[in-house]
Amino acid sequence: MKEKTGQLAPADGKLGILLPGMGAVATTLIAGVLAVRKGGAQPVGSLTQMGNIRTGKRTANNYPKIKHYVPLADLDDIEFGGWDVYEDNVYQAALKAGVLDARTLETVRPELEALVPMKAAFDRHYVKNLDGTHIKSFTTKHDLAEQVIDDIRTFKATRGCSRLVMVWCGSTEIYHEPSETHRTLAAFEEGLHANAANIAPSMIYAYAALKEGVPFVNGAPNLTVDVPALLELAAITGTPVAGKDFKTGQTLMKTIVAPGLSARALGVRGWFSTNILGNRDGLVLDDPDNFRTKEVSKLSVLEDIFHPEVNPELYGDMYHKVRINYYPPAGDNKESWDNIDIFGWLGYPMQIKINFLCRDSILAAPLVLDLALFMDLAKRAGMSGVQEWLSFYLKSPQTVDDLRPEHDIFKQLVTLHNTLRHIMGEEPVTDAAPDEYQDAAEAF
Ligand SMILES: NC(=O)c1ccc[n+]([C@@H]2O[C@H](COP(=O)([O-])OP(=O)(O)OC[C@H]3O[C@@H](n4cnc5c(N)ncnc54)[C@H](O)[C@@H]3O)[C@@H](O)[C@H]2O)c1
């Protein structure tokens, strides 16, 4: 990540949030922000709107709201736009997603109906279980990227935005590994002209965004912007990027519980995780190739928290299994079960069972809002490249130089807070605070 340089530009004018994929998460975000703007609804789960941060010494007892501490775009200044392979307007798509009830949607219905997705850059090879026809025709993938760039420019001009961010809320694409095409920007651009099969649609949106200097976040576990070619482009255009995969539901619970077990040096023999969900995301993940992408993202979390290689006595034999089952009656109300086999003093076994009846998109929507607002802040602060300080929101945090990601949600929060302090020119808080203790001791 390139450090911030110089002045922090103010959040003047409108911020456009562009969403490739206007399904459950995106429509829940949009309807939610509009409902909050109208008054009465609360943006619960959003750190930028409801979270606090400590500034100065503990003795100062100063805990402002984050949105009052750093200059963020105001919710009233946000414009939404996006793309989808289905032509439903946002009201229709939100009804079909079945996350928010009709009463909530009715309060913002005209605004939602006015939001119609642009035609998608799509390739069914990457998401077999979708059959939408609201898609762009093209000669080469380069031409397709140019069309997305045109969309971005037109949106910015017609909505009168001064700044934009893009957050991928599209379906999870099939698993694929980085290849030669992804190694350098030159090879990638050659691949665009030659219609290289390993350039996924999400990469086309990311390329278009980065070309335009628009910060890009990947909310799915796809490869997308996690390849050298696109990081090279981000460096050239001085643009922040972040990914991958919103941290909601079961993985959120894992990154809350596992650091606690590790902190107390309790052993783990096995962690079995299973889920049922019945939304369109679940349908896409019903395909084994798409599930593989998600599985990789979900599996890495425990390894990185427990470090079995440095602590083989406690975690060396841990068996970790993750299952996702498509079960339509569950809709967006994903239910997860975790069975955790732990052991304590002298190796005596114990079990923890977690049954989380969550609402996937209710947990995801505030993350999209925060990521969009913080990425805009990063850009205004002159930061570019991988924004690892936003790992807090992500299941499979993108890092530079293959650095091991930090999954512990509490450490991630400290990093996030300290980055905000850094942006505001304050010292980081370490909580070691020997001076404060010494001062207090000497005062007796
Ligand atoms: N809901 C969550 O809590 C959660 C958590 C982590 C990650 N995610 C990821 O976020 C993404 C969105 O989740 P969701 O529940 O909204 O899924 P969804 O299926 O409701 O919405 C995804 C939308 O993307 C569209 N789409 C697919 N490919 C596209 C393309 N190339 N261009 C434009 N649109 C495209 C689909 O038509 C669909 O409407 C998924 O990848 C999911 O895995 C969701």
Note the pLDDT of residue 2. Answer: 54
The number of beta carbons lying within 10 Å of the beta carbon of residue 361 is 29
Question: Of 378, 400, 380, which is closest to residue 388 (Cα–Cα)?
Answer: 400
Note the pLDDT of residue 187. Answer: 98
Q: What three-state secondary structure class fits 93? A: helix
The number of beta carbons lying within 10 Å of the beta carbon of residue 402 is 6
- C-alpha dist (Å) from residue 431 to 53, 56, 437: 14, 11, 11
Please report the atom of ligand 1 found closest to the CA of residue 201.
31
**Per-position b or e across 70-96, b if 16+ CB within 10 A of its CB:** bbbbebebbbbbbbbbbbbbbbebbbe
Note the pLDDT of residue 110. Answer: 98
Domains, the chain, ordered by start: 14-246+361-423 (3.40.50.720), 251-357 (3.30.360.10)
What is this structure's pTM? 0.94
Q: Ligand 1 centre from 102 Cα, in Å?
A: 21
Residue nearest to atom 9 of ligand 1 (CA): 220
Count of helices and strands (H, E) across the chain: 17, 11
- C-alpha dist (Å) from residue 271 to 257, 341, 406: 12, 6, 19
How far apart CA 138 and CA 142 sit, in angstroms, is 9
Note the pLDDT of residue 433. Answer: 58
How far apart CA 16 and CA 215 sit, in angstroms, is 11
How far apart CA 85 and CA 141 sit, in angstroms, is 17
* Per-residue pLDDT tens digits of the chain, which is 444 residues long: 555 556 899 999 999 999 999 999 999 999 999 999 999 899 999 999 999 999 988 888 999 999 999 999 999 999 999 999 999 999 999 999 999 999 999 999 999 999 999 999 999 999 988 888 999 999 999 999 999 999 999 999 999 999 999 999 999 999 889 999 999 999 999 999 999 999 999 999 999 999 999 999 999 999 999 999 999 999 999 999 999 999 999 999 999 999 999 999 999 999 999 999 888 888 888 888 888 877 777 778 898 999 999 999 999 999 999 998 999 998 888 899 999 999 999 999 999 999 999 999 999 999 999 999 999 999 999 999 999 999 999 999 999 878 999 999 999 999 999 999 999 999 998 866 566 666 766 776
The answer to whether the CB of 25 falls within 8 A of the CB of 169 is yes
Cβ 118 under 6 angstroms from ligand 1: no
Cβ 28 under 6 angstroms from ligand 1: no
Note the pLDDT of residue 424. Answer: 96
Instruction: Give every strand in the sheet of 240-242, ordered side by side.
Output: 118-119, 78-84, 14-20, 161-168, 216-218, 240-242, 385-386
How far apart CA 373 and CA 77 sit, in angstroms, is 11
Cβ 326 under 6 angstroms from ligand 1: no
Note the pLDDT of residue 437. Answer: 65
Please report the atom of ligand 1 found closest to the CA of residue 285.
43
What does the DSSP assignment read for 250-280?
Answer: HHHHHHHHHHHHHHTT-EEEEEEEEEEE-SH
**CA torsion angle for 132, 136, 140, 144 (degrees, to 10)?**
-110
Residue nearest to atom 25 of ligand 1 (CA): 21
Cβ 245 under 6 angstroms from ligand 1: yes
Best mutation site among 169, 283, 326 for ligand 1 pocket (most ligand atoms within 8 Å of CB): 169
The answer to whether the CB of 33 falls within 8 A of the CB of 41 is no
How far apart CA 67 and CA 4 sit, in angstroms, is 19
Question: Of 164, 168, 161, which is closest to residue 213 (Cα–Cα)?
Answer: 164
Cα-flanking dihedrals φ and ψ of residue 88, to 5°? Answer: -50, 140
- C-alpha dist (Å) from residue 301 to 97, 320, 355, 403, 407: 28, 10, 19, 14, 6
Cβ 169 under 6 angstroms from ligand 1: yes
Q: Indicate the burial class of 213 (C-beta count within 10 angstroms; 0-12, 13-18, 19 or more).
A: middle
Note the pLDDT of residue 296. Answer: 77
Joined together, the tokens standing for residue 23 give: 């399904």
Q: What three-state secondary structure class fits 340? A: strand
**Residue 245 C-alpha from the chain's centroid:** 5
